[in-house]
Amino acid sequence: MLSTTLLDKLNHQINLEVSAAHTYLQMSAWLLSQSLDNTALFFREHAFEEQQHMLRLFDYINETGAVASIEQIDKPAMNYDSLISLLEQACNEEDKLTGHINQLVDTALHEKDYSTFQFLQWYVARQHEEEHLFNSLLHKARIINTLEGRALFRFDEEVRKAAFRHPHQDHHDRHEYHDRHRIPLHREHHQHD
């Protein structure tokens, strides 16, 4: 059975996840208005993920015999100064979610509620992934925002092309290499014989 403190905090987390879902969906509308269609799709899908996070909490609370409670959600911002500003706000949103999940984990541990502690581990792992994902997008957007950064991205693209050539070409090159150096192909599989 959940303590009143934990129940309040879990219900508040429901609110935060829904709020994040609304924010990301609203961000996708602004991104569409800027013709950033792929980024808009990313945020639209992420809004759906936050909705799933909310439902997971909703189900857990109800499974304990308590009643999940949905609070009023503030209207998200509609306009952004730039893509970078939008991404900064998305990173802040994720930071906020992580902070609250960590507080929940602290409370569950303090109260020796090991079931809730275990349940929350999934959120701890998700927040690690999400913070990395959003921070890396912001980092890339900041790099690409400069002339030198665009040149570096162009170079990075060239490395990608070089590293992931057509597989048949790789196969051919490998045979050519082995022919040139007179190494029978099958021998490399028995190097430790």
Q: Would you tell me which residues interact with Fe ion (CB under 5 A)?
A: 17, 50, 53
User: Token pair 């400069």 is at which residue?
Assistant: 146
69 in Cβ contact with 11 (< 8 Å): yes
The CB density around residue 173, as the number of other CB atoms within 10 Å, is 11
The nearer residue to Fe ion, 24 or 30, going by C-beta atoms, is 24
- Residue nearest to Fe ion as judged by C-beta position: 53
Output the CA torsion sign for 28, 33, 37, 39.
Answer: negative
Nearest approach in angstroms of CB 49 to Fe ion is: 7
Nearest approach in angstroms of CB 90 to Fe ion is: 12
Nearest approach in angstroms of CB 23 to Fe ion is: 11
The nearer residue to Fe ion, 17 or 113, going by C-beta atoms, is 17
Nearest approach in angstroms of CB 138 to Fe ion is: 17
| Alpha helix segments (H runs only) across the chain | 4-33, 37-63, 83-110, 114-144, 147-163, 167-180
The nearer residue to Fe ion, 106 or 129, going by C-beta atoms, is 129
CA 46 to chain centre: 8
